[in-house]
Structure 1
Amino acid sequence: MGTVTAAQAATAPAPAPAPAPASPSTARVLNDRLALRLLRDEGPLTAAQLKEMTGLSRPSVADLVERLAQAGLVEVVGEAGARRRGPNARLYGIVARRAHLAALDVRTDSATAVVTDLLGRPLARAALPVDAADEAVDALEALARQAGADPLHTVVVGAPGLGAPADGRLRSTAGLPAWHRDLVAALRRRLPAAVSVENETNLAALAEQRVGAARDAGSFVLLWLGAGVGAAVVLDGRLRRGASGGAGEIGFLPVPGTGSLPSAAGCEGGFHALAGRAAVAGLAAAHGFTGPVAEAVAGAAGDAFLDALAERLALGAAAVAAVLDPGCVVLGGELGHAGGPALADRVARRLAALSPVPTEVRATALGDAAVLAGARLAAAESAQAALFG
């Protein structure tokens, strides 16, 4: 071993200090957060179950439960069994009425709101008026009062377009009416709630990840098939938005078969021109079907139509597989739900012929409902983080 000079010793990095042991107050905070997470994810639990799951002593669990009860976060919600009585049988649960939330699914021509409790459980639902932002806020406030949920603590809005990561503002890439941006501004101006906006496809992916078709997939891409097309990218369990929030704008992907190229101003020559609802309706008509496009995708137009649609969808899926290698593509939205496993299987076979990257293709478990489900999940997570610390 060489000799270390005085100069080298002076400039050498000092050894990293050993981590200081957590203070009692820090340990209490960490234990409280763990208990709240368990109560949220596992449902009501007894003190004995909390002791087993947290590894804490019985007195520590008793102190923890008392602290959370005094903070208005936890309460007794029942008993563990008919034959068990007394303190050891008490079931503790999160005080779901501690805060009330709202989830909005805003489309180009419609808006739907759901008011929930702190755990995201729906209390009331209604369509909101479109084209007038203040009237939509009036309707949301009335819905909250009807549900006994006034004031609202957190509101999450799912909408087409890009939610910029830096400030959460909505930028349109799909020719959205001005009232979309006016609605978010009106919500922030008039409500005491924390209001955030997220791309609809990202919220749908969150729902598919937590309660839908991708529950067992660490990485996947949701291919949204509705009036427009989009994608949400989840890698290693995390949603990836990109530097500007534009990750997944697959409607702008140049693909063969469109006759032109997309531009920064529109995706008419991109993948949207093959897989958007209007394009799929045209494909269905070419195969002799003139009814609602979702019915055609569901199989009313026959196998030849589904084969042709799968050819188109495989082009977008192949690009996703080549760049991201997610291992799984979920066909979501109205048309993905209508096509179901029959369409997913066809896309998988065609994709296997186009790409050397192994990629499973699944049908959505939630369809159009995924946007509201994802907004509810996001609102609950945001509110819980704010209240639980």
Structure 2
Amino acid sequence: MSTARTASPRTARAINDRIALELLVERGPLTATRLRELTGLSRPSVSDLLDRLGRSGLVEVVGEAGEERRGPNAKVYGLVGERAHVAALDVRTGGVAFTFADLTGATVGRGAVPVDGGADAVGSVLLALDDARREAGVPAFHTAVMGAPGLADPRTGALPPFGGLPDWHGELLAALREGMAAPVLLENEVNLAGIAEHRVGAVRDRDTFVLIWLGHGIGAAVVLDGALRRGASGGAGELGFLPVPGTGGLPSATDCDGGFHTQASSGAVCALARRHGLPAGAGDDAAAAEAVVRAAAEENAGAGAAFLDELAARVAVAIAGVAAVLDPGCVVLGGEVGRAGGAALAERVAARVRPLSPLATEVRASTVTGSPVLNGALLTALDAAREALFTSTV
């Protein structure tokens, strides 16, 4: 015969405090009355937990509710933003963009610094970060998340050399970890974009999906049953290496030319646009591909429509392969090209996937505003900081 075990008063208080903190994260500032309604706790219990969280420095009175009733207005309680600050970094081949936020998620600073890959690349980034931190009035960071292309090894937290990416990426990671005196977490930049789409973008209603990044390079974020799947070495989603027909060759262990990269990278998109007589300019970077795809999607007729049709056919082949292995049910088109193509491209891709696969696969366009990578990095940093603070305090 088993005997039911009840939580000790201390454990119960810790559980209630954590529930209240999570509600303040999800819903923003709340009155004590609203906290009672959401938690089901008694008036004295809510009063006690607010007092405890106030003494811990996590919760404070942030205003008053304008309720029409007798007596004073109800106090509104919220997280103490100054309790901790986090940093999010989007590291690319040509530079670094960054955003700072307080514990509530409010942005307190941002910036970008171009990097030419010279000897002082890391120093210039560190200087820009420190200048921006001081200008924002941030004394120190609790947590930072760095998003970068390549393999973010989930076992070691390292950024091993991969695919000819700049050496300064790894050097920057090491310098941040040495000089920031705070946890610096590493994540693949496409995985961060996938996190953003799941939390604030196109797939908030899905726990299983794949985000395909179409930009200068090609990648994918795989989310299954609500969990980001990185693979054994962090390489899950390296779709640029996926062998596909029409490339005239095969990729190798060190070169994605001959794989899906050859069909859908920004250079391939620009070349395809020129073949259709579209003004793709002389560049082959992500900005050039984004511009020509956006123009074609807005016009959605004539040569632009034919260009989108052919691009969609290429993307559909890769999605059919992803569906055959993972059956995600939903694919989001992200990156500069996927976002620029919007519904015009997504609808074409969906139509071309259907005859290629027996598995129903919805295709959606990215809807995250701003930088998906920075959004995902910021969400990840805030999650880590809150988990550490909420656990240690309650």
TM range (shorter): over 0.9
SS at match of 1:163: coil
Find the counterpart in structure 2 of residue 108 from structure 1.
93
SS at match of 1:207: helix
Find the counterpart in structure 1 of residue 63 from structure 2.
78
Find the counterpart in structure 1 of residue 29 from structure 2.
44
User: May I ask how many residue pairs the two structures share in their alignment?
Assistant: 374
Q: What is the CA-CA distance between 1:84 and the residue it aligns to?
A: 5.0
Find the counterpart in structure 2 of residue 245 from structure 1.
234
Q: What is the CA-CA distance between 1:174 and the residue it aligns to?
A: 3.1
Q: Counterparts of 1:172 and 1:213 in 2: how far apart (Å)?
A: 32
Find the counterpart in structure 2 of residue 362 from structure 1.
364
Q: Counterparts of 1:86 and 1:134 in 2: how far apart (Å)?
A: 58
Q: Counterparts of 1:178 and 1:29 in 2: how far apart (Å)?
A: 45
Q: What is the CA-CA distance between 1:88 and the residue it aligns to?
A: 6.9
Matched, 1:306 2:270: no
* Aligned positions of 1:313-332 closer than 5 A: 313-332=315-334
Find the counterpart in structure 1 of residue 122 from structure 2.
133
Q: What is the CA-CA distance between 1:20 and the residue it aligns to?
A: 2.6
Return closer, same or farther for 1:149/1:287 CA change in 2, 3 Å cut-off: same
User: Quick check: 1:334–1:368 contact (8 Å CA) kept in 2?
Assistant: no
Q: Counterparts of 1:211 and 1:77 in 2: how far apart (Å)?
A: 25
User: Quick check: 1:46–1:88 contact (8 Å CA) kept in 2?
Assistant: no
2:174 pairs, out of 165, 185, 199, with 185
SS at match of 2:268: helix
Q: Counterparts of 2:359 and 2:63 in 1: how far apart (Å)?
A: 51
1:271 pairs, out of 235, 254, 260, with 260
Find the counterpart in structure 2 of residue 262 from structure 1.
251
What letter is aligned with 1:345? E
User: Quick check: 1:160–1:174 contact (8 Å CA) kept in 2?
Assistant: no
Q: What is the CA-CA distance between 1:81 and the residue it aligns to?
A: 1.0
Structure 1 unmatched ranges of 5 or more: 1-14
Q: Which has the larger radius of gyration?
A: 1
Find the counterpart in structure 2 of residue 195 from structure 1.
184
What letter is aligned with 1:28? R
1:65 pairs, out of 13, 31, 50, with 50
Q: Scaled by the length of structure 2, what TM-score is found?
A: 0.92
Q: Counterparts of 1:311 and 1:265 in 2: how far apart (Å)?
A: 26
Q: Counterparts of 2:61 and 2:72 in 1: how far apart (Å)?
A: 10
Per-residue CA deviation, residues 239-281 of structure 1 (Å, 9 max, x unaligned), is 1111221111111111111111111111111111111111111
1:296 pairs, out of 273, 292, 303, with 292
Q: Counterparts of 1:298 and 1:121 in 2: how far apart (Å)?
A: 31
Per-residue CA deviation, residues 68-92 of structure 1 (Å, 9 max, x unaligned), is 0000000001111153576771110
Find the counterpart in structure 2 of residue 3 from structure 1.
none
SS at match of 1:161: coil
What letter is aligned with 2:89? L
What letter is aligned with 1:159? A
Q: Counterparts of 1:208 and 1:64 in 2: how far apart (Å)?
A: 34
Find the counterpart in structure 1 of residue 300 from structure 2.
none
SS at match of 2:147: strand
Per-residue CA deviation, residues 23-74 of structure 1 (Å, 9 max, x unaligned), is 1111111111110000000111111111111111111111100000000000
Return closer, same or farther for 1:203/1:148 CA change in 2, 3 Å cut-off: same
Structure 2 unmatched ranges of 5 or more: 282-287, 297-302
Find the counterpart in structure 2 of residue 23 from structure 1.
8
Find the counterpart in structure 1 of residue 133 from structure 2.
144
Q: What is the CA-CA distance between 1:173 and the residue it aligns to?
A: 3.1
What letter is aligned with 2:78? G
Per-residue CA deviation, residues 292-326 of structure 1 (Å, 9 max, x unaligned), is 32222124351110000001000111111111111
Find the counterpart in structure 1 of residue 222 from structure 2.
233
Q: What is the CA-CA distance between 1:18 and the residue it aligns to?
A: 4.5
SS at match of 2:371: helix
Q: Counterparts of 1:363 and 1:237 in 2: how far apart (Å)?
A: 19
Find the counterpart in structure 1 of residue 19 from structure 2.
34
Return closer, same or farther for 1:141/1:269 CA change in 2, 3 Å cut-off: same
Per-residue CA deviation, residues 92-138 of structure 1 (Å, 9 max, x unaligned), is 00001111111101111121011111122211111124232122112
1:374 pairs, out of 364, 373, 376, with 376
| RMSD across aligned positions (CA) | 1.6
Q: Counterparts of 1:169 and 1:221 in 2: how far apart (Å)?
A: 24
SS at match of 1:162: coil
Q: Counterparts of 2:25 and 2:366 in 1: how far apart (Å)?
A: 25
What letter is aligned with 2:94? D
What letter is aligned with 2:292? A
Q: Counterparts of 2:220 and 2:341 in 1: how far apart (Å)?
A: 17
Return closer, same or farther for 1:87/1:99 CA change in 2, 3 Å cut-off: farther
What letter is aligned with 1:106? V
Q: Counterparts of 2:268 and 2:369 in 1: how far apart (Å)?
A: 19
* Aligned positions of 1:7-18 closer than 5 A: 18=3
Per-residue CA deviation, residues 184-217 of structure 1 (Å, 9 max, x unaligned), is 1000111112101100001001111111111111
Q: Counterparts of 2:187 and 2:104 in 1: how far apart (Å)?
A: 20
Find the counterpart in structure 2 of residue 8 from structure 1.
none
User: Quick check: 1:334–1:367 contact (8 Å CA) kept in 2?
Assistant: no
Q: Counterparts of 1:85 and 1:38 in 2: how far apart (Å)?
A: 27
Q: Scaled by the length of structure 1, what TM-score is found?
A: 0.93
What letter is aligned with 1:354? L
